[in-house]
Amino acid sequence: MTSYIWNPPAPLSLPIRGQAERLPINRIFCVGRNYHAHAQEMGRPVDKATSRPFYFTKSPQALVQDGATVPYPPQTSNYHFEMELVVVIGKAGFEIKAEHAHEHIYGYACGLDMTRRDLQLIYRDQGRPWDLGKDVEDSAPCAEVVPMPGVALEAGHIELRVNGQTKQASDLNKLIWNIREQIADLSLFYHLQPGDLIFTGTPEGVGAVVPGDHIEGSVEGVGSIHITVGQAA
């Protein structure tokens, strides 16, 4: 039996709809600028003919359960919401062909990519990594996993509301790189594993929140997510 100088952290997991077992989380990948309208509002339009997807990661420890109160993070005055469909990988794969990508899907969840936007833009414009803007503590809220083995979603309404007011509304059919394309491309760089999460990108309408705000998001056919922004820790 291995002994440690202090107790290791508990495994990270998400609930699975209709099951007592929980889904263990491995890694969190995020696709940047994957809706045209959002890319334009960020000042970085995307031409799919000459571009390919790009990614950033969040530490698994950024995961937050649905219904939580998330502390407002330090060193920002512009904390943004980004509503996203999350793909849950259920089968290992490397250099996956797009036509077979659906075979590696376990299911889906609703997620939020919370972002220190002011820091992200500063570092983006300086050509530096985005980590302090994106890999933020408690910045990856994720709801229950809905099993859909082998299903590559191609359409469905995605929406986010703050204090009941709609801020983001779009459709999955507006993804620049669809679910199959994302899995195939990401698998050229990583050996994907069960429990990997892919946050697939956010529509236009991102904006700032303040302590006390209540965020609700939903994806048609998948479910919803709810968090409250708390006071700074």
The per-residue pLDDT for range 117-158, each reduced to its tens digit, is: 999 999 999 999 999 999 999 999 999 999 999 999 999 999
Taking residues 21-37, what's their average pLDDT? 95
Name which of 177, 180, 54 is nearest 105 in CA terms: 180
pLDDT of residue 46: 87
Question: How far apart, in whole angstroms, are the C-alpha atoms of residue 142 and residue 161?
Answer: 16
Per cent of the chain over pLDDT 70 is: 100
DSSP 16: B
Model confidence at 116, pLDDT cuts 50, 70, 90, reads very high
Residue from 218, 232, 230 nearest 164 by CA: 218
Amino acid identity for residue 69 in this structure: T
Smallest Cα–Cα separation from 192: which of 108, 122, 133, 104? 104
Q: Mean pLDDT across the stretch 180-206?
A: 98
Per-residue confidence (pLDDT) for residue 1, from 0 to 100: 85
- Pairing mode, strands 63-65 and 165-171: unpaired
Calculate the dihedral angle through the C-alpha atoms of 101, 106, 13, 195, rounding to the nearest 10 degrees.
-30
How high is the pLDDT of residue 77?
98
